[in-house]
């Protein structure tokens, strides 16, 4: 067996998902703090102080205090090499999150203790279920007034359809938050509000059997409530079963406060014991084992202009098997070429470190001269297989885009194509009309703001957007069997083509989709396209 087995086995690669403002970026920073990757946590909002969250690097993110793109962060902790994929919480950027979840082996779901399961949590959770990846739940903001704990767990079970198993249990919340009860150790770990940006914290462990000491530490009221809840809990909650966790049927639940650093390291230690080494991945030749197969990877994200000084494009790849060495040649399957990857690097938000090697489970960024697409496979030169495609989700908002200065057509086309290749927007053109007008489709309307901002700041092109009434889009699955000129549609239907020349139909009304299918026997339409 190859000598890099141990390196692969110590890797853990996971995504952090949540509704906006649940504290995901704060939790990410505190994990980095424990791993020694950063010395001082930044302010996530970036208003009160000049420091910004480590994982938010785009200018527009710093201005608005929201995460727009996924960041990749790697650190070492307790003998493990951890790759965190931090995703945007805002639903208008969920497309980026879907793709990022394809590169993760497990997901950490952050829930605000006072809000419970929110809309975006549901949407992202569905993607995890689709992929059957293990989900770990961190219920955050216990230092503020929270919903009843049993109600929170009940809501997770009902809303998301997954069984819960609390690993620890909170004692009070807000001003009355005393700490957590560790169910395994049968002791109370007391809460202390540590200095916000550091990792030092003072907590005591009090065995629950020592009732006198327990009452003295947390007070009679809190002790009575805890003893009653623990009895209820032991009788009512699901038994912890690691196999069920790894199948994605049971989520271990932890409580804490990322802002004040309480419960974060407890969570990290448990999580690392429960989560898996890099998993085998599905390809067209079967499952690819991370240890037994030579190097292979797939592209899940492309980002242009990460660094204004570089004006470059970076393709992010998840290594699925074997070891990557910077001097080796690899086969780009879709491009049909054997090549060396240019400037392989690990990217810590906007800081870069050139790599000489990386292993299955790691995420690497490589310079992309415009040859990679999302979903592309790379493997050893003598191999030739493809990993499963990454779905392209249907945009829900459309606009016609025009540049203000017609002399800047070249920059405009280059900019809009590069941003589209990242997968943040989808661009379409009129079908067979010879018109050069560009229609942009996005999953969330905020993407229009990002497009405008980036074209102005990165490509020096000003644009005007004219919103279009279309809300539904369908790819034509059997395009080779259909004569598009003779297609009988509805009055609200528009024929367009995507960047690859594939025909698509846009509709204003959802019922028009069914009517078009009825009028064209044999036509097959799909809500998403696989790259």
Mean pLDDT, rounded, for 329-353:
82
pLDDT of residue 120: 67
Query: pLDDT by residue (tens digit) across 265-279?
Result: 899 999 999 998 998
Burial (CB count <10 Å: 0-12, 13-18, 19+), residue 526 = middle
Least confident of 105-109, 199-203, 437-441, 445-449: 199-203
User: In the prediction, which pLDDT does 95 show?
Assistant: 62
Tens-place pLDDT, residues 460-489: 999 999 999 998 889 888 888 888 888 888
Nearest Cα to Cα of residue 498 among 420, 424, 446: 420
Structure confidence at residue 22 (pLDDT)? 79
Sequence-distant (6+) residues with CB within 8 A of 489 are 495, 505, 512, 516, 519
pLDDT level of residue 354 (50, 70, 90 thresholds)? confident
Mean pLDDT taken over the chain: 82
Query: What is the arithmetic mean of pLDDT over 275-299?
Result: 93
The alpha carbons of the chain give a radius of gyration, in whole angstroms, of 25
State how far the Cα of 100 lies from the Cα of 16, in Å rounded to an integer: 10
Asked if residues 315 and 174 have their Cβ atoms less than 8 Å apart, the reply is no
DSSP-based three-state secondary structure for 466:
strand
Q: Which residues contact 304 (CB under 8 A, 6 or more apart)?
A: 312, 313, 314, 418, 419, 421, 422, 458
Contact criterion met (CB below 8 Å) for 340 and 68: no
Picking from 323, 39, 48, 333, the residue whose alpha carbon sits closest to that of residue 197 is: 39
Q: Is pLDDT of 432 > 90?
A: no
Question: Does residue 252 carry a pLDDT above 90?
Answer: yes
CATH of 393-530, one of 3.40.1450.10, 3.30.70.3280, 1.20.120.420, 3.20.20.70: 3.30.70.3280
Q: Are 309 and 342 in contact (CB under 8 A)?
A: no
Q: What is the mean pLDDT of residues 420-433?
A: 79
Residues 105, 12 contacting (CB under 8 angstroms): yes
In this prediction, residue 112 carries a pLDDT of 92
More confident residue, 38 or 81: 81
pLDDT at 287 exceeding the cut of 90: yes
Domain boundaries defined on the chain: 8-68+107-274, 281-379, 393-530
Q: What pLDDT sits at residue 147? A: 94
Nearest to 79 by CA among 240, 353, 277: 277
Q: Cα separations (Å) of 129 from 66, 246, 252, 404?
A: 26, 12, 15, 44
The Cα–Cα gap between 95 and 114 comes to 27
Is the pLDDT confidence value at 421 over 80?
Answer: no
Pick from 323, 319, 309, 296: nearest CA to 352 = 309
Give me the mean pLDDT over the 154-162 stretch: 89
151: buried, middle or exposed (CB in 10 Å: 19+, 13-18, 0-12)?
A: exposed
Q: pLDDT at position 47, please?
A: 33
For the domain made up of 8-68+107-274, the CATH class stated in words is: alpha beta
What secondary structure letter does DSSP report for 387? B
What was the pLDDT predicted at 426?
A: 87
pLDDT digits (tens, 9 = 90+) for 223-248: 999 999 988 888 777 789 999 999 99
When mean pLDDT is compared over 116-120, 195-199, 399-403, the highest value belongs to: 399-403
Question: What class has domain 281-379?
Answer: mainly beta
| Residue 66 dihedral angles phi and psi, to the nearest 5° | -130, 155
pLDDT > 70 fraction of the chain, expressed in percent and rounded: 83
Q: How confident is the model at residue 347 (pLDDT cuts 50, 70, 90)?
A: low
Cβ-in-10-Å burial (0-12, 13-18, 19+) of 84 comes to buried
Work out the angle at residue 265's Cα, subtended by the Cα atoms of residues 32 and 107, and round it to the nearest 5 degrees: 70
**Residue 23, CB half-sphere, CA atoms under 13 Å: how many?**
26
Q: Are 496 and 428 in contact (CB under 8 A)?
A: yes
Confidence (pLDDT) at 292: 92
- With cut-offs at 50, 70 and 90, classify the pLDDT of residue 396: confident
Alpha-carbon distance of 481 to 414, in angstroms, equals: 33
* Least confidently predicted of 152-166, 266-280, 444-458, 500-514: 444-458
> Can you give the pLDDT at residue 93?
44
Percent of the chain at pLDDT above 90?
37
pTM of the model: 0.76
Q: What is the pLDDT of residue 16?
A: 87
Judged on CB neighbours under 10 Å (0-12, 13-18, 19+), 452 is middle
């Amino acid at each position: 067996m190859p000598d890099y087995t141990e390196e692969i086995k110590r890797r853990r690669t996971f995504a952090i998902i949540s509704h906006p403002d649940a504290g995901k970026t704060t939790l990410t920073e505190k994990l980095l703090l424990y791993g020694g990757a950063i010395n001082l946590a930044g302010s996530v909002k970036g208003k009160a102080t000049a420091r910004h969250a480590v994982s938010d690097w785009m200018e527009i993110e710093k201005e608005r205090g929201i995460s727009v793109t996924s960041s990749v962060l790697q650190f070492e902790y307790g003998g493990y090499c951890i790759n965190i994929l931090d995703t945007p919480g805002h639903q208008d950027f969920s497309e980026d999150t879907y793709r990022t979840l394809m590169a993760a082996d497990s997901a950490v779901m952050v829930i605000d203790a006072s809000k419970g399961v929110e809309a975006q949590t549901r949407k992202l959770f569905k993607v995890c279920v689709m992929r059957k990846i293990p989900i770990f739940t961190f219920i955050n903001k216990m230092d503020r007034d929270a919903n009843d704990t049993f109600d929170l767990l009940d809501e997770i079970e009902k809303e998301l359809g997954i069984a819960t198993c609390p690993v620890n249990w909170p004692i009070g919340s807000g001003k009355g938050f005393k700490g957590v009860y560790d169910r395994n150790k049968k002791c109370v770990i007391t809460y202390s509000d540590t200095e916000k940006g550091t990792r030092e914290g003072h907590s005591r462990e009090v065995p629950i059997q020592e009732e006198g000491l327990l009452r003295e530490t947390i007070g009679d009221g809190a002790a009575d409530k805890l003893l009653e809840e623990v009895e209820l809990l032991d009788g009512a909650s699901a038994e912890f079963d690691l196999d069920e966790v790894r199948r994605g049927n049971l989520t271990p639940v932890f409580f804490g406060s990322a802002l004040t650093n309480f419960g974060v390291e407890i969570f990290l230690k448990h999580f690392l014991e429960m989560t898996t080494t890099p998993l085998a991945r599905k390809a067209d030749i079967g499952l690819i084992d991370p240890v037994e197969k030579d190097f292979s990877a797939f592209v899940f994200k492309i980002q242009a202009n990460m660094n204004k000084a570089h004006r470059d494009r970076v393709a992010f790849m998840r290594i699925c098997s074997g070891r990557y060495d910077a001097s080796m040649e690899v086969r780009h399957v879709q491009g049909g070429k054997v090549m060396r990857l240019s400037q392989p690097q690990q990217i810590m938000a906007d800081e870069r470190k050139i790599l000489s090697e990386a292993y299955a489970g790691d995420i690497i960024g490589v310079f992309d001269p415009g040859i990679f697409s999302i979903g592309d496979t790379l493997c050893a030169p003598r191999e030739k297989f493809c990993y499963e495609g990454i779905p392209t989700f249907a945009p829900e908002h459309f606009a016609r885009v025009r540049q203000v200065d017609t002399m800047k057509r070249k920059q405009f086309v280059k900019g809009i194509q590069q941003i589209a290749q990242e997968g943040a927007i989808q661009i379409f053109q009129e079908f067979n009309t010879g018109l050069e007008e560009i229609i942009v489709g996005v999953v969330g309307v905020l993407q229009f703001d990002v497009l405008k901002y980036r074209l102005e700041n990165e490509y020096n092109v000003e644009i005007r957007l004219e919103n279009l009434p279309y809300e539904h889009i369908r790819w034509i699955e059997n395009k080779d069997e259909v004569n598009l000129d003779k297609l009988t549609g509805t009055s609200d239907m528009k024929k367009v083509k995507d960047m690859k020349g594939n025909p698509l139909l846009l509709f204003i009304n959802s019922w028009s989709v069914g009517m078009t299918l009825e009028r064209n026997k044999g036509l097959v339409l799909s809500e998403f396209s696989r790259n």
